[in-house]
Amino acid sequence: MFLVRVSPRTREVSNERFMTSKSGAWGWIFAGLTAASQLAAYCLEHQAMFAQVFLIPELFIAFTYGSAMWLITTMNIGLVAISIAQARPPTTVTVMNAIAQSGGSILFSAMIGGAIDQIVQVSNHNQHLVTQLLDQQGQIRALSHDEGIMAERQRVAGEVHDTLAQSLASMLALGRTAREEAQSGELENLDAHLSMITMMAQEGLDDVRQLVAAGMPTSLR
């Protein structure tokens, strides 16, 4: 026994293929009115058969290819039946002419319907490609945004390392030196070291203010 796995996409295409009316009940109403008017007009004048040229594209728009062909074939069988019923008496020529006309109409319908169905498939495919393109553009914008954030973070980190981190390291070293001087009683350089710590703290504060004023993104604050 062979098992065939059907993908969700295949099931979706199959459901669309066997779906009858594309517009629900309105499609069936349109089909009923089309068939009734065509048959009634044919009863009065056989030349009305050529009105199918205008009705056939509408049926393929309202229904899937298979369903539209079934409706057109059924309608043409009705036209043949009317031709035979109206013939007095029905002759072989009359029947063959009616069958030939209906067969030609069905063949013409198949060609027109195939072209319309192909156009619809190409349109759906193009719409799918457009949707994919829009999704890819959205992903590209998201990646560009993330890359911009990373670049800005690296820039800020570099500026912090070059300015604030070095100032803090110097302040830490001077603070340890000042503490050792205070503990040992060597006070001649203590005031100078404390002044340098105060100056570096002020410079670090100014650097931070300049960094914020330079336009640091909200997402990085």
Residue 219 has a pLDDT of 44
Instruction: Tell the burial category of 21 from Cβ atoms under 10 Å away from its Cβ (0-12, 13-18, 19+).
Output: middle
Which CA distances in Å does 210 have to 90, 157, 213, 217? 103, 14, 5, 14
Q: Does residue 7 register a pLDDT over 60?
A: no
Q: Does residue 4 register a pLDDT over 70?
A: no
For residue 110, the 8-state DSSP code is H
pLDDT greater at residue 166 or residue 67: 67
Q: Does residue 67 register a pLDDT over 80?
A: yes
Whose tokens are 């799918």? That residue is: 128
Residue 215 has a pLDDT of 57
> Do 200 and 170 contact (CB within 8 A), yes or no?
yes
Mean pLDDT of the chain: 76
> How far apart are the C-alpha atoms of 44 and 84, rounded to whole Å?
14
Band of pLDDT at residue 8, cut at 50, 70 and 90: very low
**Residue 27, SS3 per DSSP:** helix
Q: Which residues have C-beta within 8 Å of that of residue 64, sequence separation ≥ 6? A: 16, 17, 18, 19, 20, 22
pLDDT tens digits along 165-188: 777 787 788 888 878 778 787 777
pLDDT tens digits along 49-59: 777 778 888 88
pLDDT tens digits along 134-159: 888 888 888 888 787 888 777 777 77
Q: CA triplet 165, 170, 172: central angle to 5 degrees?
A: 95
Residue 81 has a pLDDT of 86
**Residue 63, SS3 per DSSP:** strand
Q: Does residue 11 register a pLDDT over 50?
A: no
> How far apart are the C-alpha atoms of 70 and 51, rounded to whole Å?
18
Stretch 87-107: mean pLDDT:
81
Q: Does residue 214 register a pLDDT over 80?
A: no
> Do 74 and 59 contact (CB within 8 A), yes or no?
no
Percent of the chain surpassing pLDDT 70: 86
Six-digit token string for 76: 């043409």
Q: Does residue 13 register a pLDDT over 70?
A: no
pLDDT greater at residue 167 or residue 131: 131
Give the range with max mean pLDDT: 24-28, 158-162, 217-221.
24-28
Name the pTM for this structure. Answer: 0.47
Stretch 80-107: mean pLDDT:
81
